[in-house]
Structure 1
Amino acid sequence: MARTILITGGTHGIGRALARHYDERGDRVIAVGSRDADLSSLAQTRDLADRVSAEHPVIDALVLGAFRYQPRRIETEEGFEATFALYVLSRWLLAVSLRTSLDRAGRPVIVNLCGTGPGRIHWDDLQLTTRYRPLTAIMQGARAGALLGAAYASERTRYVLYNPVFVATGLHRPFRQPVRGIVRAASALFAQPAAEAVPPIAALIDDPPAERLTAYKKGKPIKVDADPGEAQRLEELVRSMAGHPGHAGRAG
């Protein structure tokens, strides 16, 4: 029976390779790229979720892969730091907005393509207004993924954190020369082709883990470090921010 797979970031890199894999298998694939929706916008994320849930009342898998490297701090029109908006707020909003459609599936799963390193939440300044660094924003987003995965409330849908490590996905594009050339050369020499990253991810989509929350690094299971108190605190903050665009994102 054909399944319905929603993939954000589905028009390039790993997302595109996954979309092609499931399309060739005969599944219904909804591949969302930046031309379809700007997922750093909560309004457009909500609109996408509404349209998808209306057209597809049952969703078997949600792959959260939309990401954009930001060399400098940029704010969205809604007043959020762009990495946090796309990497944290949008992914959380899609997951909770599509929960009903996911829970109707036989073996539903969310796969969050994210880092699994030792990032931390900057509780006093989630928007990194005074200390923005690209890596700081990315690591905070990865940590947020683990906490929000732990806070995700569903008895049926499994939540998987997956770090594909270094994959050839056009990472060089946001950089200026000469850094762009260096990153591009390193990618050509060391990065895994996107198609080779697909099989272990597809295996988790086809046969989701028994546990509600799991994490993998390049196909190998790793321990999930997600304190329940931190998870609840962040989920409450993100819920408030998503409901009130322009929230300053500071917590005592």
Structure 2
Amino acid sequence: MKNIVISGGTDGIGKALALHDLNRGDNVIVIGRNTKKGTVFLDAAIEIDANTRTSFIPADLSLINENKKVIEEIKTKFSKVDVIVLCARHYRTIRFETAEGFEENFALFYLSRFLLSHGMVESLEKADNPVIMNVAGPGADMSVMHWDDLELKQGYNGGIALAQGGKLNDLLGVDFAYRHNAGRTRYVLFKPGMTSTGFSGEYDAQTATHITAMKKFGKPVEKSIAPIIDLMDSPPAEPLSAFVEGKRISVEHKYFDKDSATRLYEITQELLSH
């Protein structure tokens, strides 16, 4: 029996993974901002007689303080954590800043994953074969990075924010693997490809039409999670690995540049210190 934590676990890929893990007897904590979806998830757990192994933590992970509270709550519920799956993401056509002053996509898609990754290391290292599964979009080139404007205060575009978010998570994985190289925790970056999933977001009319098409023509969630499940069960031996729709890609490529990863880590620490 494993202890599994899934951010963005009340919808789409995250929810499908959570129900799969519950069905095979694991303990699962899901994190999400929508309490109604959380209740629906808990009801689904009751239907498969897994309610005693299920927890829902309502939290807005775009807020730094909420992430810190979640980390502490997870530590009180689980003596160790075997798997963390990072799925939470929310698209916005119009730029929005959180109450803490961060651009929301940057905060949710990147800062939250940074905090959950580094904040849960102690709990992960207590497990036999721990893994962080970061469901993002590995492999983009460095041109998507806006080093002088990471929060896109100038020329914001939702698609650009998501593209940069994927690269931020690439660099997060690179730096995490370097800093925790002596530990057991493996970091896996995974791009599921176009999937008919929840597509959490607030869209203008043009983007909404595109999302409708993606839902119609995207892969079923069950197909997208199959390789994720395999990697959760048997993570690669290397500290960092990356996959696109189940196919492994090299993390020795210049797109996974260690110097850039270190630079981002230092910028992030500075932002979080304020």
TM-score by length of structure 2 reads 0.85
Contact 1:113 1:164 in 2 (8 A): yes
Partners of 2:244 and 2:214 lie apart in 1 by 20
1:67-146 matched pairs, under 5 angstroms? 67-116=89-138, 117-119=140-142, 120-146=144-170
1:1-12 matched pairs, under 5 angstroms? 2-12=1-11
Contact 1:45 1:93 in 2 (8 A): yes
Matched, 1:228 2:253: no
Query: Identity of paired residues, percent?
Result: 39
Q: Deviations over 1:208-233 (max 9, x none)?
A: 10111110000010122321111111
Cα offset for 1:203? Answer: 0.5
Structure 1 counterpart SS, 2:264: helix
Contact 2:92 2:201 in 1 (8 A): no
1:14-53 matched pairs, under 5 angstroms? 14-35=13-34, 36-53=58-75
Partners of 1:112 and 1:19 lie apart in 2 by 15
Contact 1:172 1:184 in 2 (8 A): no
2:11 is matched by which residue type in structure 1?
H
Partner of 1:149: 173
Equivalent of residue 268 in structure 2, options 231, 238, 241? 238
Equivalent of residue 202 in structure 1, options 223, 229, 235? 229
Contact 1:42 1:90 in 2 (8 A): yes
Structure 1 unaligned segments of length 5 or more: list them.
Answer: 245-252
Q: Deviations over 1:143-183 (max 9, x none)?
A: 11111111112221000000001011133863243642443
Contact 1:167 1:197 in 2 (8 A): yes
1:175 is matched by which residue type in structure 2?
Y
Cα offset for 1:76? Answer: 0.5
- The answer to which of 147-156 and 39-48 deviates more is 147-156
2:82 is matched by which residue type in structure 1?
D
Structure 2 counterpart SS, 1:66: coil
TM-score by length of structure 1 reads 0.92
Query: What is the RMSD computed on CA atoms of the aligned residues?
Result: 1.4
Partners of 2:106 and 2:13 lie apart in 1 by 21
Partners of 1:13 and 1:58 lie apart in 2 by 26
Partner of 1:247: none
Structure 1 counterpart SS, 2:29: strand
Partners of 1:172 and 1:24 lie apart in 2 by 25
**Divergent runs of 4+, >4 A:** none
Partner of 1:161: 189
1:85 is matched by which residue type in structure 2?
A
Which structure shows the bigger proportion of residues in helix conformation?
Answer: 2
Cα offset for 1:240? Answer: 1.8
Contact 2:106 2:165 in 1 (8 A): yes
Partner of 2:52: none
Structure 2 unaligned segments of length 5 or more: list them.
Answer: 35-57
2:137 is matched by which residue type in structure 1?
G
Contact 1:173 1:180 in 2 (8 A): no
Q: Deviations over 1:17-45 (max 9, x none)?
A: 00000000000011111131000000001
